[in-house]
Amino acid sequence: MAKMKSRTSFVQFGLQQRQMAWMTMAVTIPLVILAAIAVRTVEQDMMDQAEQKVASDLNVASFLFYGKGTRVEILDGKMALDSSYVVNGNPEIVDAVARLVGGNATVFQGDTRISTTLKREDGGRAIGTRAAENVVDTVLRQEHRYVGRAWVVNDWYITAYDPIRDPSGKVIGMLFVGTLERPFVEVADAFRNRTLLVGGLGLLLALFIGWISARSLSRPVQAMTAAAKAIAEGEVGQTMELDEGRGDELGDMARAFRRMVTYVQEKAAAAERIAARDLTEQAEPSSDHDVLGVAFYHMVAGLRDLTIELQAAAESISSAANEIMTAVSQLASGATEQAAAVTQTTATVDEVGASAKQAVEMAMVVSEAAQQASRAASEGVVAVRDATQGMADIRQKAQSIAVNILALSEQSQRIGEIIATVNDLADQSNLLALNAAIEASRAGEHGKGFAVVASEIRSLAEQSKAATAQVRTILSDIQRATNAAVMATEQGTKGVDSGMQLIDRAGRTIDELAELVRQASQSAAQIAASVRQHSVGMQQITAAMVNIDQAATESLAATGNTKRAAENLTDLAGRLNGLLAQYRVAAHGGDGQRLAGYHPEPNGRRHAPENGRESDQRGRALELARGARPGPGR
């Protein structure tokens, strides 16, 4: 959104401001880019040269350092060369390096300065101070040479560091040479300032040239813009000063603009004459491509033809109005007769509607009675269905009882068999007791106890035999009762089957009766619906007849209005003839027909009218104005 707003604001500037802005950007952007590249290149070259110098100075320092001894070691906490030359606090080597190459030199034991030309703020040598952390990491830890920008004691330097190794190859210190960065920065700043000064002067020069060029372009454009705004507001007759003597494109545009203004003034004068009701104006186009001239010509020709046709139509309207009045009188007579017939028909329809309402009420009563009979029949069907289900349950229970009684008869027979066995046992026990008594009498005194037992057993056997006879009698009674119950159960089952058949026939009869009742109920409902529809139809007919009666009344009123409108139309035709008499229309033929059939196309060519369609439409309009009916082909 912000980008679109800035672009819109830029477009709203004048031509002169935009021209100056474009020229300023065309000069400023390349100038800034070239200046930035130049400054960056100079700074980089200076830094490269400074780094090359300190690297070369470091080689000199290494030559002087190892010239005192090639074996470097730490003895008693101090750095010594060939075990005899102690470096700690000895400025001989660093001062020699400073005299030969300039700048500063330092010997480090570990990361601590033990011999240096660097000064503290108090003026003393900066012995005991430490190296920067990035230098320590590169030289002591990674064991590489460091060449580049580094913070040294209290300022930035262009530096070079080399590791110092003992005979075992271990890094035990560093050798440093460096020069202040400030002089290089000052040179680069001076070059940047001079570059900015030259660029500013070039920018001012470009602005001055752009202002002159934009002014020469914008003045004629502003003049034509003011003239175009005045023409757009309708000031066609103004005088304007245009620089038409220029030989460039702006001169061509000024001359073309002058011809356009002259053309617009001519068309405006022709429009004023047409507005003054002078239709003799020809308004001929100036060329085949003159779309506005062709439109003026057709407009004037159309107005001229329209005026002639309106005059003829006004005459036709007068005669048509008289015919309308005659027809309206006939319509009024017919509308009166129609209103009387509608009133009689409405009364008849009201009587039929009352009869239909009574028929609807009777049909509703019959339908309600049929629905009640249908509900009663449905309940009868349900009752028969329930009775059938109850008889089936009774039959099933009777069959179950017969099965149980048969099972009881079989058990009685088994009990009879057991009783027969018990009777046999009693007979054998009695025989055994008799034999025991005989043997006991033979034994004398020793067999008396045995005789008593034998007597008891015999008595028990007789009792068992008597009980067995009683049980046999009871079982015989049970078997006779069981047989009677089985016979009764079979007869009850047969009776249940006969009842089920009767209930089934009654159910089918009730089903048929229910179906007949349902059909009767449906027929009654259909009759009620038909009668109701008939009643609704009669109501609609009644409403329609009321509408027809109202329409007939309104038709009578409209007939009167039409008669008055025909009278007003006659008066309007007279007034129209008076207005048309004020327009001047050229006679047909001559110059008025010279451009007949002229129709412009997008490419400026002419062609004839399309098969006389326009004249056919005008003729049809005249026929309609005279009251004639158009034929089928129109």
Q: Per residue in 255-298, pLDDT tens?
A: 777 777 777 767 777 777 777 767 676 667 766 676 777 776 77
CB 236 within 8 A of CB 265: yes
Residue of 49, 65, 76, 50 lying closest to 162 (CA atoms): 65
CA distance linking residue 73 with residue 265, whole number of Å: 109
Residue with tokens 């000069």: 27
Q: Of 232 and 115, which is predicted with more confidence? A: 115
Q: Which of 59, 89, 77 is nearest to 175 (CA)?
A: 59
In this structure, are residues 97 and 64 in contact, taking their beta carbons and an 8 Å threshold? Answer: yes
| pLDDT at residue 432 greater than cutoff 90 | no
Edge-to-edge strands, sheet with 85-86: 72-75, 78-81, 85-86
Lowest-pLDDT range, 303-307, 326-330, 468-472?
326-330
Q: Report whether 450 contacts 434 (CB < 8 A).
A: no
pLDDT at 263: 73
pLDDT value, residue 404 = 78
Backbone angles phi and psi of 495, in degrees to 5: -65, -40
Cα(128)–Cα(362) distance, integer angstroms: 134
* Residues 6 or more apart whose Cβ sits within 8 Å of residue 134: 146, 150
- The gap between the terminal CA atoms of the chain, to the nearest Å, is 61
**Residue 119 carries which DSSP code?**
B
Tokens 């000895």 correspond to 90
Three-state DSSP class for residue 330: helix
The residue type of 311 is: Q
Which is more confident, 207 or 37?
37
Mean pLDDT for the stretch of residues 381-404: 76
How would residue 320 be classed by pLDDT, with cut points 50, 70 and 90?
confident
CA distance 465 to 485: 30
* pLDDT of amino acid 498: 79
Radius of gyration of the chain (CA): 71
Q: How many residues are there in the chain?
A: 634
Question: According to the model, what pLDDT value does residue 32 have?
Answer: 72
CB 274, CB 303: distance < 8 Å: yes
DSSP state of 444: G
pLDDT value at residue 7: 47
Alpha-carbon gap, residue 360 to 535, rounded angstroms: 8
- Tokens matching residue 221: 């454009």
Q: Where is mean pLDDT largest: 181-190, 271-280, 313-322, 395-404?
A: 181-190
User: What's the helix, strand, coil split of the chain in %, to 5?
Assistant: 75, 10, 20
Q: Residue 23: its pLDDT value, please?
A: 64
pLDDT for res 239? 65
Contact status, residue 79 vs residue 88, Cβ threshold 8 Å: yes
Residue 178, helix vs strand vs coil: strand
Choice among 13-17, 285-289, 365-369, 527-531 with the minimum mean pLDDT: 13-17
> What's the pLDDT at 479?
75
pLDDT of residue 199: 74
Question: 143 pairs with which residues across the strands?
Answer: none
Helices (H), 233-290: 249-275
Query: With b meaning 16 or more CB within 10 Å and e meaning fewer, what string describes 502-528?
Result: ebeeebeebeeebeebbebbeebbebb
Cα gap 194→199, rounded to integer Å: 9
- CA of 165: how far to CAs of 143, 291, 372, in Å? 10, 99, 128
State the chain's mean pLDDT as an integer.
75
Which burial class, exposed, middle or buried, applies to 374 when counting CB atoms under 10 A from its CB (0-12, 13-18, 19+)? Answer: buried
Rounded to whole angstroms, the Cα distance separating 177 from 158 reads 9
99: pLDDT strictly greater than 80? yes
Residue 618 pLDDT: 47
Which of the listed ranges 151-155, 241-245, 288-292, 576-580 does the model predict with the highest average pLDDT? 151-155
Q: Is the pLDDT of residue 140 over 80?
A: yes
**Would you say residue 442 has pLDDT above 60?**
yes
pLDDT at 43 over 60: yes
Q: How many CA atoms lie within 13 A of 251 on its CB side?
A: 5
CA distance 192 to 504: 126
Quote the CA–CA distance of 316 and 329 in Å, as a whole number. Answer: 21
| Dist. CA 455–CA 440, nearest whole Å | 11
Query: Which of 91-100, 335-344, 518-527 ranks highest by mean pLDDT?
Result: 91-100
373: helix, strand or coil:
helix
Could you tell me the two tokens for 11? 């477009």
Q: Of the ranges 135-144, 209-218, 454-463, 477-486, which is most confident?
A: 135-144
- Whose structure tokens read 């089920």? 500
32-67: string of b/e by CB count within 10 Å (b at 16+)?
Answer: eeebeeebeeebeebbeebbebbeebbeebeebbee
Tell me the percentage of the chain whose pLDDT exceeds 70: 74
- CB-based contact 16:217 (threshold 8 Å): yes
pLDDT tier at 629 (50, 70, 90 boundaries)? very low
Predicted pLDDT of residue 605: 43
CB neighbours of residue 467 within 10 Å: 14
Q: Does residue 235 carry a pLDDT above 50?
A: yes
Residues in CB range of 206: below 8 A, 6 or more apart: 23, 24, 26, 27, 28
Instruction: Name the most confidently modeled range: 80-94, 416-430, 579-593.
Output: 80-94
Q: What is the pLDDT of residue 129?
A: 94
Lowest mean pLDDT: which of 116-130, 180-194, 228-242, 393-407? 228-242
- The Cα–Cα gap between 629 and 504 comes to 84
Q: Could you read off the pLDDT of 343-359 as tens digits, one per residue?
A: 777 777 777 777 767 76
pLDDT, one tens digit per residue, over 399-420 is 777 777 777 777 777 777 787 8
Residue 1 pLDDT grade (very low, low, confident, very high; cuts 50, 70, 90): very low
In DSSP notation, 14-44 reads: -HHHHHHHHHHHHHHHHHHHHHHHHHHHHHH
Token pair 């913070």 in the structure block, residue? 151
Query: Does 604 score more than 50 pLDDT?
Result: no
Most confident of 109-118, 260-269, 500-509, 553-562: 109-118
CA angle 618, 622, 626 (to 5 degrees): 170
**pLDDT tops 50 at residue 449:** yes
HSE toward the beta carbon, residue 400, CA cutoff 13 A? 6
State residue 459's pLDDT score: 82
Mean pLDDT across 484-507: 76
On the question of pLDDT at 62 being above 90, the answer is yes
Q: What is the pLDDT of residue 86?
A: 93
DSSP state of 586: P
